[in-house]
Structure 1
Amino acid sequence: MGRLWRMDLTTSYESVFASRTLARYQFREVRNAAAILKATNPRETCMIEGVLNDFKLLSSDLIDAGGSESALAKRINGSFRTMGWREARVDTDIELKLRIFPYRPAGERAVTESSTLVSNEGYKVDNFTGRIALDLEWNAKDGNLDRDIGAYRALYDAGLIDAAVLITRTQADLRELGTRLRIEAGIEPEEARKVLATSTTTNIDKLLPRMTRGDGGGCPILAVAICAETWEDSERSNSQI
């Protein structure tokens, strides 16, 4: 039985991002995405690193319940919006034409033509500028990852982007940190352990199989995972003084 095809992970982000950035997030990529981002969109790549360096994971991000767009998502997306990044969507309109040619022995002379317009509305990406698409998936249903990667593939195949970035989170270490913070905040231990507890929400472990089996086609994809090392709340900062 032949071996299943698998896309290898690359590590170009190690030479693209500063050590400070690498220490605060977990990175994964396919097709040397970070190197391609820097080579093709250097200004936008600096913006991404700037947002990552300025962002702080707060205790409230792990203690409070999030809605459809949590406070964390609003902060990150807001940072990109202020720098000119915008939501975007690629829609496809295809005109199908049927041409029936005349049969002259029957006295027919003209071509008969009819047309049908087929429209396909694509999926939105959270942030788009230059030739980069970027989404944030903090704690949504993991099916969103299929939607995002499908959008990246469509944008890449259409020649509209050079690479894509997906910001998500880790699971085990943030669950442990969140449980501790919730207990310290007075939440009962049993209830505190429910933080990020479901295995069907977006995280780096859910994203990696989709990347390595090539769901994004030829599109280089960089995954950035918010993790326990991203937490820089005041309690931690004060304890290190």
Structure 2
Amino acid sequence: MELTHGWSRVLPPGVAERYELRETRNAAAVLAATSPTEFAEVCAVLAGFELTTADLVEAGGNESRLAARLNAAFRARGWREGRVDTVVTSRLQVQPWAPAGEHGVTVRESEVVNEGYKVDNVKGRVALDVEWNAKDGNLDRDVGAYRALYDAGLIDGAVLLTRTHDDLRELARELTRAAGGSDDEVRSRLSTSTTTHLGKLESRMTRGDAGGCPLLAVAISRRCWVPADGEPDRPAAPAPLMLTDELA
């Protein structure tokens, strides 16, 4: 599936310049036209978000804290968690046979309920998830949920917030080195090949996993990083560490 660039016409420059963006079916323009309030709120959250050094270098729970921070910003604007459930009802109508004295239709029904996946945020006709550094299987779940919601006529489009890979990994290395971190600590910063990032999401978008649902992918990049007071704009790293091929 071909990627579109409608986001360049509707996203505020301050947002477009800080994030890496991908979309299918002109998702940003669709959402700006059909859900202007929700689209403006997405832009406001993105404009106000800052990536901190702690998000990248502090051990334990950083990914969930960052995602919680973004989700809380949407909750404060009225967005709520949703779940995609499917109910299938099958009905057998047995017709009467007059010569046997039968008159009424006999109806038998069977209902199957499938409790589906949760969506982090839903408001109006827009669905939105935050996948900062989760297992990449979450992308299949999210995109599948968007497709189901769109096919059912419940949403007009979706937004998925994730991260870039190479530039943030390098920034995490620099920050960890500047803080005197060890080789093992450097190696652990966003280096796994099984977690969510834009490259993993883009491949799912271009092969059409979202079906007809317009999908806007917004990736947190190095340009979102804001140094703390007294922290240089670009960390000054000590002598290069010897890295293994894992980080090549």
TM-score, reference length from structure 1: 0.90
Describe the shift of the 1:236–1:124 C-alpha distance in structure 2 as closer, same or farther (beyond 3 A): farther
Q: Distance in 2 between matches of 1:37 and 1:116?
A: 38
Q: Does 1:206 align with 2:200?
A: yes
Q: Distance in 2 between matches of 1:67 and 1:157?
A: 35
Q: Distance in 1 between matches of 2:185 and 2:39?
A: 40
- The answer to whether the 8 Å contact 1:9/1:30 transfers is yes
Unaligned runs of 5+ in 2: 235-248
- The answer to whether the 8 Å contact 1:56/1:233 transfers is no
Aligned counterparts, 1:168-183, within 5 A? 168-183=162-177
Q: Does 1:140 align with 2:140?
A: no
Q: Which residue of 2 aligns with 1:54?
A: 48
**CA RMSD of the aligned region, Å?**
1.9
- The answer to whether the 8 Å contact 1:126/1:136 transfers is yes
Q: Distance in 2 between matches of 1:65 and 1:139?
A: 13
Amino acid at match of 1:135: D
Q: Which residue of 1 aligns with 2:76?
A: 82
Q: Does 1:27 align with 2:21?
A: yes
Describe the shift of the 1:174–1:239 C-alpha distance in structure 2 as closer, same or farther (beyond 3 A): closer
Q: Does 1:114 align with 2:108?
A: yes
Q: Distance in 1 between matches of 2:7 and 2:229?
A: 30
How far 1:186 sits from its partner (Å)?
Answer: 2.5
Q: Which residue of 1 aligns with 2:158?
A: 164
Q: Which residue of 1 aligns with 2:241?
A: none
SS at match of 2:55: helix
Q: Which residue of 2 aligns with 1:4?
A: none
Q: Does 1:187 align with 2:187?
A: no
SS at match of 1:90: strand
Amino acid at match of 2:218: V
SS at match of 2:149: helix
How far 1:235 sits from its partner (Å)?
Answer: 5.3
Unaligned runs of 5+ in 1: 1-6
How far 1:112 sits from its partner (Å)?
Answer: 3.4
TM-score, reference length from structure 2: 0.88
How far 1:125 sits from its partner (Å)?
Answer: 0.7
SS at match of 1:121: strand
Q: Render the CA deviation track for 1:189-237: whole Å, top value 9, x for unaligned.
A: 2331221111111000000111011111110000000011110121587
SS at match of 1:26: strand
Describe the shift of the 1:37–1:203 C-alpha distance in structure 2 as closer, same or farther (beyond 3 A): same
What number of residue pairs does the alignment pair up? Answer: 234
Equivalent of 1:222, from 216, 219, 234? 216
Q: Distance in 1 between matches of 2:233 and 2:198?
A: 29
Describe the shift of the 1:116–1:236 C-alpha distance in structure 2 as closer, same or farther (beyond 3 A): farther
Query: Among the aligned pairs, what percent are the same residue?
Result: 56
- The answer to whether the 8 Å contact 1:33/1:222 transfers is yes
Q: Distance in 1 between matches of 2:200 and 2:60?
A: 20
Q: Distance in 1 between matches of 2:69 and 2:17?
A: 21
How far 1:68 sits from its partner (Å)?
Answer: 9.3
- The answer to whether the 8 Å contact 2:128/2:160 transfers is yes
